[in-house]
Amino acid sequence: MRPAEMLVVNSIFWLCGCVIANLNLYWKLKRLRRKSRTFKFQKGEQSLLLITCSMLPAYMTNLALVVAFLINPAASAYFLAIRPYGSDCDFVFVPWIFYLTHPLFKAAQVAPRVNSNTII
């Protein structure tokens, strides 16, 4: 068995794992909305859903490259041009989405304390 065929199996496995994780998180979010849990907990779950969705392009471009290599090795050079963009989604967008959407990184809004001795 050629190594490229094992890469197809590996890519399909991780793509399916990511899709299953997304579906599981989406199902949990729908269930949480009905139970009316805390807003912060729901936002954390939404953040995880967006993070796992941003991983999908990396798995899809890797799978497309390997399948193209198996079908026509000469044509796979064209897919090499789009592979870095899919990998960038995994390496760059995941931390950005985590930082921008997770409630842990939201600054707590503190109301200013009003002193009764202050003349306005």
Instruction: Please give the C-alpha separations between residue 16 and each of 11, 21, 81, 113, in angstroms, as whole numbers.
Output: 8, 9, 24, 52
- The domain total for the chain is 1
Distance CA 118, CA 107 (A): 28
Residue 119 covered by a domain: no
Model confidence over 8-57: pLDDT tens digits? 888 889 888 888 888 887 787 777 777 766 666 677 777 777 888 888 88
Model confidence over 49-75: pLDDT tens digits? 788 888 888 888 888 888 888 888 887
Distance CA 51, CA 1 (A): 34
**Angle, nearest 10°, between helix axes 39-71 and 3-35?**
160
Distance CA 75, CA 13 (A): 24
Distance CA 102, CA 92 (A): 16
- The parent domain of residue 76 ranges over 3-105
Model confidence over 73-115: pLDDT tens digits? 887 778 788 778 777 777 888 888 888 887 777 766 666 666 6
Residue 110 covered by a domain: no
Q: What is the pLDDT of residue 116?
A: 61
